[in-house]
Structure 1
Amino acid sequence: MNFPRLVLAGLSGGTGKTIVTLGLCRAFKNLGKKIKPFKKGPDYIDARWLGLASGNFATNLDPFLMPVDKLKALFLEKGVGFDISIVEGNRGLFDGKDVQGSCSTAELARLINAPVILAIDCTKMTRTVAAIVAGCKAFEEGFNLAGVILNRTAGERHRNILQKSIETYTDVPVLGMLPKLSENPIPERHMGLVSNTEYGPQDESLDILGKMAQDCIDLDKVFEIASNSGVIPGNHDPLWSGIELVTDKQPVIGVVRDEALWFYYEENFEALAKAGAKIVEVSLVSTDKWPELDGLYLGGGFPETLAAELSSNIFIRDHVRALADSGLPIYAECGGFMYLGEDVEYEGKKFPMSGVLPISTCLCAKPQGLGYTSGKIIQENSFFPVGTEIVGHEFHYSLCISRTGGNPVYGLKLDRGKGMADGYDGMIKSNVYAGYNHIHALGAPCWAGNFVKAALKFKEGNIQDI
């Protein structure tokens, strides 16, 4: 099977690889190619922009969050039928979770046997670029450094010496040289790019990047490299093996998807549907009445930027609290967990939230939890059996503050990560489970089926509080 693919990597975060990848996606789209974008690692915002640039949803790939066989199966299933699959790496090419580079972009490239194109920030650098390219090519075995794209070049003289240096000292082709932009077409913030839900001129910005890529990158050569990737090694089990149909009664699980909360992996919805749920979208910002629900899923996002709107929507705040009090199974991650608290403090003001949980959150100037997580479930709950090993990730600037007399119960003890308090996460109250940790359904195969089972019990009036 011909499966054109490539990985676009950088030397570190902030080198401009996202801008280069967005430009490639939009340029190929403008040429009539059908592009499937992927994002390596736990990143919702870049994935959203990649989807906009290519015209197709982006899928996250991460060898930490899911088993290798599931990762390969996911890549194959989502990439079938496209002209080219473009994977944007994260951080530096060889940066992983340990000194061996486990779960790095280079490791991902080996797993899917994809050629790597390296984007290099050439600011205030000339001949040294050749040493960097030669070093990257020789650093690890088993991956194919197929070309480089030189970013933030200053002019023709600069570009000339950069290209000649690489051609003289390495055999890695220069596939393009991009100029230094006077300003970033897509603004950045503490979590990387500003989300498309907050930034207006999306297509205009992406068209700028697409034209730059068409003018400055050898797109024919890039496509040729992707088309000569070869086979993906190993056997691949069906993607959804291990997630079984729980019921055909279709309990309704509401998913909050609006301007405040939209950090989700699409595969989490697919897993819930495979287990038998009917998914409906609801909003915390709108005053529209919700349909009757048997479960509720609140993902991550930026509730702080819409804290005033969320707080002023008293009807929905009261409704969510009433649903929790009725025993509805509710699963919340990060921003969704913040909404379930008493209030959110942002820029010196406190905004009342739903009051489901006896905690408050306060936005800080620096990250309070950042990176991969792992731990074990230590308390009975509706979603994970006690003893379940959990892997995930967290990225939050908010700090969790327990209310006096709240007596919180935590379900997850972390051996890696910060969580909500002293290495604990996953606050439990009745059938509510909420915390900073994000999971991927392929890495936590019991989650979807247990969620649907809990929703079915609620639907049938067989409610058992934890």
Structure 2
Amino acid sequence: MTVIIAADRSGSGKTTITLSLLAYLQHHQFNIQSFKVGPDYIDPMFHQFVTQKPCRNLDPILTSEPYIKQCFTHHTQNTDYALIEGVMGLFDGVSPQIHQIPTASTAHIAKILNLPIVLVIDCSRLSGSVAAIAHGFTTLNPQLKFAGLILNKVASDRHLELLKSALEPLNIDILGIVRRQDKIHLPERHLGLVPTDELPQLQTLIHQLTHLAADCFDWEKLLPLFKTQKTGYIQFNLKKPDLNLPVKIAVARDQAFSFYYQDNLDLLQKLGAELVFWSPLNDTQLPENIQGFYFGGGFPELFAKQLSENLSVKKAVQDLISVGIPTYAECGGLMYLCEEIIDFENKYWPMVGILPTKAFMGKRLKLGYYQANILQDSFLLPKQTTIFGHQFHRSELTLESPNPLYKMKRYGKNLENETIGEGWQFTNLHASYLHLHWGNNPEIPTRFLQQCSMFNSAESATIQEQ
């Protein structure tokens, strides 16, 4: 069947509950696949840490409803159990049309996949009012199905008695009761949770969550809800380009660059790429004979000193981009290609220097979905193509591109005066703050690889030796 773990609002403990459920299932050696609603990068890292299997994002704005069904079905066929973590509150999300389920909401995913919902309620400041919340959420949209509730942050036996008494007339299953946990905490910073690679004590925390799950959940009722249905694989229909194989793509992945959708990496490999992971932080030289760069997002501002001091790698990246190696950079990757990063302490750190601008840390978070129209032909996208992406960053640029790649507006907005120019493009270089999921646009990785296959890897090796 599979269920979606949703919440009444952000901060209710949805991620902690989800990790606890996954940890218990993994501890008992069940084969489980996890999913995350929305454009999140960091929560899926925690899922993967627990399950040892890539988490998959389900986002109808970045992809499409058919792609979500295809992705979900494909990745649940070889697993016994599956679990989807929602985003924000159940009905929260972006909607271009009011009076409908928000198009980016957990509720909309539940409707697309026709799955029941387990609602997590933060009970820390509730007693009798919990019934009004539960009643409202479970009856607001009659098309949604609810499997039950998980009561989180319950303070005492007396508190639990009041909650159960209030909920009893609603006849809703209580599938879990989680007491207030002062010693279990997932650390956060300016863009959400601290990523897994920076948490040396994370395994200890997962052990705590495993024990918590054993005591707090009604597994007799929950376990059947997580069971997957075998309907047969839905294959992704991809037309492989004619390439001189293999095409070696250097993917920057370390503590500074970790924001990648697994589906994007999978697409590159299915289309003929050989992915070579390397670290701009720690490696002293680039991988050999590469034909393309992929710089994802992350936290280069927090590792700016170390990135800046890795002179040999910065020079090698600059040299290769200067002679035309195809390069795709998003957000943190864009920042790395700038002349400098100016960190939170207003310190200046020289970077690769390909882009004639500096990245500095602003005071406001830029967050949201965007519709982007391509203003000029690029090696990735033809002019006038419309795509949808997501931005999530605190940094800004001292100088915007004089010939921007995109004309963008907030998703769902129709006011032309709200459009902005964004993104940099040079020969074989695509750099932007816009995060893209390629699941519904396989032509993007296809064109990328076609261009990469034409780059002379022997020339690449010669430049690296200099």
The question of a shared fold, defined as TM-score above 0.5 by the shorter chain, is answered with yes
Question: Aligned equivalents of 1:248 and 1:142: distance in 2?
Answer: 50
- The Cα shift of 1:226 comes to 3.2
* Structure 1 contact 185–208 (Cα < 8 Å) conserved: no
1:252 aligns with 2:234: no
Q: State how far apart, in whole Å, the 1-side matches of 2:137 and 2:430 are.
A: 44
Within the alignment, does 1:415 sit opposite 2:409 as a pair?
Answer: yes
CA distance in 1, matches of 2:385, 2:392: 22
Aligned equivalents of 1:129 and 1:451: distance in 2? 52
CA contact (8 A) 1:72 1:236 kept: no
Cα distance in 2 for residues equivalent to 1:68 and 1:326: 40
Q: Which residue of 1 aligns with 2:399?
A: 402
Moved over 4 A (4+): 229-232, 460-463
> Compared with structure 1, are the counterparts of its residues 461 and 285 closer, same or farther at alpha carbon in structure 2 (3 Å cutoff)?
closer
Partner of 2:295: 298
Preserved CA contact (<8 Å) 1:245 1:449: yes
Confirm or deny: 8 A CA contact 2:284 2:310 kept in the other structure: no
Does 2:45 match 1:51?
Answer: no
Query: Residue 76 of structure 1 aligns to a residue in which SS?
Result: helix
Distance across 2 between alignment mates of 1:89 and 1:329: 36
Tell me the equivalent position of 1:356: 354
Q: Could you report, residue by residue, the CA deviation over 1:158-209 in whole angstroms, capped at 9, with x for unpaired residues?
A: 01111221122x1211111111121443212222211111111011011111
For 2:138, give the aligned amino acid.
K
Q: Distance in 2 between matches of 1:186 and 1:416?
A: 31
Contact 1:175-1:222 at 8 Å conserved across structures = yes
What's 1:28 paired with? 25
CA distance in 2, matches of 1:247, 1:396: 35
Shift of 1:23: 0.4
Shift of 1:246: 3.2
Counterpart check, 1:322 vs 2:309: no
8 Å CA contact 2:248–2:276 kept in 1: the answer is yes
Deviation at 1:359, TM superposition (A): 1.0
In structure 1, how many angstroms separate the alpha carbons of the residues matched to 2:370 and 2:419? 13
Give the equivalent residue in structure 1 for 2:280: 284
Aligned to 1:208: 208
Q: Is the 8 A contact 2:77 2:233 kept in 1?
A: no
Deviations 1:394-414 (A, max 9, x none): 1001011118xxx63211110
CA contact (8 A) 2:248 2:274 kept: yes
Identity of aligned residues (%): 33
Alignment of 1:235-250 (within 5 A): 238-239=235-236, 241-250=237-246
How many equivalent residue pairs? 449
Taking the aligned partners of 1:24 and 1:217, their CA distance within structure 2 comes to 9
Matched, 1:196 2:213: no
The RMSD of aligned alpha carbons is 2.2
Aligned partner of residue 152 in structure 1, secondary structure: strand
Structure-2 separation of matches of 1:220 and 1:236:
29
- The answer to whether the 8 Å contact 1:243/1:274 transfers is no
Gap runs ≥5 in structure 1? none
Partner of 1:366, secondary structure, is: strand
Please report how far the alpha carbon of residue 445 of structure 1 lies from its aligned counterpart in structure 2 after TM superposition.
2.2
Given the alignment of the two structures, is residue 137 of structure 1 paired with residue 138 of structure 2, yes or no?
yes
Any idea what SS the aligned residue of 1:15 has?
coil
| 1:67 and 2:64 aligned | yes
Find the aligned partners of 2:27 and 2:2 in 1 and give their Cα distance: 18
Relative distance call for 1:396 and 1:37 in structure 2 (3 A) is same
Report the Cα offset of residue 269 of structure 1.
1.5
For the residues of structure 1 that align with 2:382 and 2:93, how far apart are their CA atoms? 30
CA distance in 2, matches of 1:334, 1:243: 29
* 1:385 alignment partner AA: P
Counterparts of 1:332 and 1:117 in 2: how far apart (Å)?
Answer: 38
Distance 1:461 1:197 in 2: 34
CA offset digits 1:80-136 (Å, max 9, x no partner): 221211100001101121232123101101211221101110111011111111111
Deviates more, 1:440-449 or 1:340-349: 440-449
Which structure 2 segments of 5+ residues have no match? 461-466
- Contact map agreement 1:251 1:459 (CA 8 A) in 2: no
1:436 aligns with 2:430: no
Deviations 1:31-62 (A, max 9, x none): 22221111111111100001112232211111
**Contact kept? 1:113, 1:231, Cα under 8 Å:** no
Number of the residue aligned with 1:152:
153
The answer to whether the Cα contact below 8 Å between 1:376 and 1:389 also exists between their aligned partners in 2 is: yes
Conserved in 1, the CA contact under 8 Å of 2:41 and 2:259?
yes
Q: Name the CA shift for 1:326/1:40 in 2 (closer, same or farther; >3 Å).
A: same
> Aligned partners of 1:325, 1:151: CA distance in 2, in Å?
54
**Closer/same/farther in 2, CA of residues 462 and 339 from structure 1, 3 Å limit:** closer
Does the aligned pair in 1 maintain the 2:407–2:419 contact within 8 Å?
no
Q: What does residue 179 of structure 1 align with? A: 179
Q: Aligned equivalents of 2:35 and 2:423: distance in 1?
A: 29
Deviations 1:389-430 (A, max 9, x none): 111111001011118xxx632111102279xx9722221122
Change beyond 3 A, Cα 1:66–1:462? farther
Contact 2:77 2:230 in 1 (8 A): no
Q: Which residue of 1 aligns with 2:463?
A: none
Cα drift, residue 236 of structure 1: 9.1
* Pair 1:366 & 2:367 matched: no
Q: Is the 8 A contact 1:246 1:275 kept in 2?
A: no
Q: Equivalent residue for 1:261?
A: 257
Does the aligned pair in 2 maintain the 1:39–1:60 contact within 8 Å? Answer: yes
Counting only pairs closer than 5 Å after superposition, residues 160-179 of structure 1 correspond to structure 2 as 160-168=161-169, 170-179=170-179
Q: What TM-score does the superposition give when structure 2 sets the normalisation length?
A: 0.92
> How far apart are residue 462 of structure 1 and its match?
12
List aligned pairs for 1:370-381, cutoff 5 A.
Answer: 370-381=367-378
Q: Give the match for residue 115 of structure 1.
A: 116
